[in-house]
Chains A and B, each alone.
Chain A
Amino acid sequence: MSANIRFLLNGLEEVSVSGPADQTVLQWLRLNRRLTGTKEGCAEGDCGACTIAIAHTREDTRQTVREDVLVWAPANACIMLMGQLHGRLLVTVEGVADGQALHPVQSAMVTQHASQCGYCTPGFVMSLFAGFRSAQTGATDAIHDMIAGNLCRCTGYRPIVAAAREALGPLRDDRFSAMAADIAARLRSIEAQGALSSATPDSKFSAPRTRADLASALTRDPSARILAGGTDLGLDVTKRRQRQPSLISINAVRELQQIEKRDGALVIGAAVTYARALTRLAALDASIGVLLRRLGSAQIRALGTMGGNLANASPIGDTPPILMALGASVIVGSVKGEREIALDAFFTGYRRTALETGEFIDRVIIPLPGADDFVRVDKISRRFDQDISAVCGAIAFQRNGERIASPRIAFGGMAATPARARRAEQALDGAPLTQATFEAAAEALAGDFAPIDDFRASAAYRMRAAQNLFRRWFLIATGALLEAAE
């Protein structure tokens, strides 16, 4: 067992710390280590000024593009807690250059005039560095995906995208290329010392390794909060200044990291990050891939988990509508064993779920749609990238000849919880696949939901945009609307 949080910093320096469970990586970097290149811009994971790179050892070497034995990702230091670093490599903007020689990402940023005030720049450097280490290409869409979690108010982005294109071309080495194997070995030796269980007089942070240990830890400490990706819990720390006396991380639990196809369903462990789930879910329908690429940012997707997105029960979570439309259920575990809850019965009220004390989400079961089924999810937000939905709507149905069978429709942003649109479903069920049917469903939707006015959208807009999704879905289902950009 490891009583201290142990990780590598900017190379082979091993750091061992114990501190409050709710200390953020950003606080530690800036205040404890005086590494001030990493900035606070918003303390909510939305601006990217605090972006760091993290790496862990690669288990599945089949996906290796580089010589690399490490998996790299960007992350928001502002909402990441120190315990989440355990067993990982942390790289900050101070650690990417090789002595006086700038990293290719850094020199491209200089030559392209990609910094003005410079405050966001370290974050961009780190997002691009993580992309560089992950052997990302310099394709324009990939670059936008890489930096969608970084805001710049000065440049208008054109020179930053140009710098990314310059730096991310052919695979090149940097100071981590030669070090990767040593880093991986050191990380494994940290792992070999057992699960993290760190305590200070005021707080506890533990990261059990097995499902059984997780269940018993939750039973021993029923007041503990489960930490998954922390992309929501982190806001309680930074925005609401809530103390976190006891946190139990699910990230080290192997069983919760699995993704597999079993019995006609895709089964995704609760601790699987969006980043890992993305390709598997995108395979069900391209629109799910688009949705997930718009969920948060690369930084958020690297930490945020499938289980976390369900457990926080936000009315505007991005994954619940499509999971509901696909008929997903969750398996929840506890010392008493497992039980299955249909996702549309899981959300019991505003930010409330059917989870009982001592229970945790173990995995999500997503029945695979048939080859001929229609599946589609659409997110509508003010900004394309890294925004919270005004409305998110999803639909799945089978085609029974010219008729619609077993429709499932769910919306986020329309009620206090993500919810099925039962009246709209009735309007589709058994009806012919015609414009009139979808118009009737759109009309029926008005009876399903009474959305609210708020800063994301008015009730009227929400309803109209949601009703228009039926029009869009009809066009897509009949092949009349090609979504490809022209």
Chain B
Amino acid sequence: MTSKLLEIKDLSVEYKTEEATVYAVNGLDISLDYGQALGLVGETGAGKTTSALSIMKLLPAGVGRVTSGSIFLDGVDVLGSSKKKIGEMRGNTVSMVFQDPMTSLNPVMTVGDQILEVLKIHKNLSKSELSKAVDDMMEMVGIPSYRKKEYPHQFSGGMKQRIVIAIALVCEPKLILADEPTTALDVTIQAQMLALIADLKKRLNTAMILITHDLGVVAQVCEKVAVMYAGEIVESGTAENIFSGRYRHPYTAGLFGAIPKLDEETRRLETIDGLMPDPTEKVEGCRFAMRCKYAEDDCINTAQTMVEAEPGHFIRCAKVG
């Protein structure tokens, strides 16, 4: 039995449709301690959400498939577990906050019932205890508990996301997967929501994987950072490692270049030229090579391995170290 909360090794996931096979995740390794927060950063289509869904075994049935690797969560072999065992873990050991609060709530069920539902499945409590737990949770995410009889359409986007967070946290899971929890919200609400997540994480001592394409968000909440590109992790380390900028993967450097700096006068933000490689094709060498200004022909033809640039800071690039 591992002492880690989450141990993902060599995970590969593909989506098979009638037209093509998409290689969404390719040999992913992630490990996370209890109570730790990891920021999973990357652009749309990098495989972040797919990785999170695999942890919950929620890949779209019949389309998404894990082709290799293993996932151990709290000592349980997720991929080898029965449907029943997974059902017991979902919402209880691990829960997920989805991207769009507008659509993640059932429109014909009161919000109170939607929070209550998770508790009822996993916790053996009396009626009054259940009701109290729902009230407490609502207050904790900043919604007055008298509103539990209301339906999702009576709440604003930010309020809905609070309810989604309440659903995710009410059973006090050991791990929360937050999939771009602030993207669909107004900028002013985003900050509130991040503060709320950070606060709740600390109070409940929950571990978290925060999926985002926003490095600023990561800096606020996470101790560890992993940068994903085209289905694999290209750089990982502590937040300090990544933000210090002593060593950087060219892609991460590109991401930082795309952040506006207030202290410098910049005409244009730097962009990364080109697009991600076609995910329906298997790539042999470095996936970023086509867009990398340092790339040489050799980068395209040989697979890159993670290089430890400084203690605990790994970078998948031939040019580092």
Q: Is A bound to B?
A: no
* Interface positions of B (Cβ within 8 A of A): none
